[in-house]
Amino acid sequence: MTVGRLLLGATPLGQPSDASARLIDALTSADVVAAEDTRRVRTLAKALDISIGGRVVSLFDRVEALRVGSLVEAIEAGATVLVVSDAGMPVINDPGYRLVAACIEAGISVTCLPGPSAVTTALVVSGLASDKFCFEGFAPRKSGARRAWLASLAEEPRTCVFFESPRRLAACLRDAVEQLGGSRPAAVCRELTKVHEEVRRGSLGELADWAADGVLGEITVVLAGAAPLHVDLQSLVAEVENLVAAGIRVKDACSEVATGHQGIRTRELYDAVQLARRETDTAP
């Protein structure tokens, strides 16, 4: 028996012409199309002037766990199953993860049909560093949880990308100013690739003021990573030596000083102290 395969197809964010040739072929040839919203995938097919060749089933968050077993069985029986989300890449903050994991466990081939993604699209137009970044999904809904989450990003050096509801954007940006400071660079990307696409770049304070009057559309926020902390090693070494002179062991002194300063680990400080002592011993 020939085992089928699982295809993960990226769909356009807003412009049907962004659909890849591979996605179009899969939509017309797959035995089953598992869609986050069956109406949306049919609308896309109509815009592309194609007909979906196979059976269309829903695969949104609440039913994914129930669908996995039957979809894996269909693939094992030889079917090609295509998974698509409403827009962008499935699995990335969208349904599909459970099915992918189950297929891998069953030894089934999993293939990605690359294409649009709001995460990478927002990142590249933000103007912020893109060599290292993290994706955080949707910001927490409630203010307390959101502030705690933002506080956890205070020292994150990578650029951070996350989604936010237009209804909560203003509150989220106010919380970001409170937790991260108003000067942190950021970008708010709205309606990416659509007619009313807009990318606002500036400081968190500026963006919070802009969003205060209300914003509509699909929102992706890009937040600059924390700036590298300047550590004055010479001053920290002097603090350690003062504690040592007061009778504290050098390792304990290094631990105490490092704990009180961001951007320096105990071992780094200990090595700096030892280096400074060697340089003092060899000085003419």
The C-alpha atoms of residue 211 and residue 200 are separated, in whole angstroms, by 10
Q: Are 12 and 44 in contact (CB under 8 A)?
A: yes
Q: Are 19 and 115 in contact (CB under 8 A)?
A: yes
The C-alpha atoms of residue 24 and residue 22 are separated, in whole angstroms, by 5
Q: What is the pLDDT of residue 227?
A: 82
Residues of the chain with pLDDT under 50: none
Q: Are 164 and 156 in contact (CB under 8 A)?
A: no
Q: Look up residue 161 and give its two tokens.
A: 């990308």
Count of CB atoms situated within 10 Å of the CB of 164: 22
Global pTM?
A: 0.80
Residue whose token pair is 């002037």: 49
User: First CA to last CA across the chain, in angstroms?
Assistant: 83
CATH class of 119-223: alpha beta
Beta bridge partners of 138: 163
Q: What is the pLDDT of residue 262?
A: 65
CA–CA distance from 136 to each of 99, 143, 164, 198, 202 (Å)?
21, 16, 10, 21, 20
The C-alpha atoms of residue 79 and residue 230 are separated, in whole angstroms, by 58
| Residue type for position 125 | V
Beta bridge partners of 74: none
Count of CB atoms situated within 10 Å of the CB of 201: 16
Q: What is the pLDDT of residue 284?
A: 57
The fold for domain 5-116 equals Cobalt-precorrin-4 Transmethylase; domain 1 (3.40.1010)
DSSP letter, residue 223? E
Domain boundaries, the chain: 5-116, 119-223, 233-282
Q: What is the pLDDT of residue 1?
A: 60
The C-alpha atoms of residue 13 and residue 44 are separated, in whole angstroms, by 11
- Beta strands across the sheet bearing 219-223: 133-138, 159-164, 219-223, 185-190, 198-203
Chain centroid to CA 124: how far?
Answer: 13
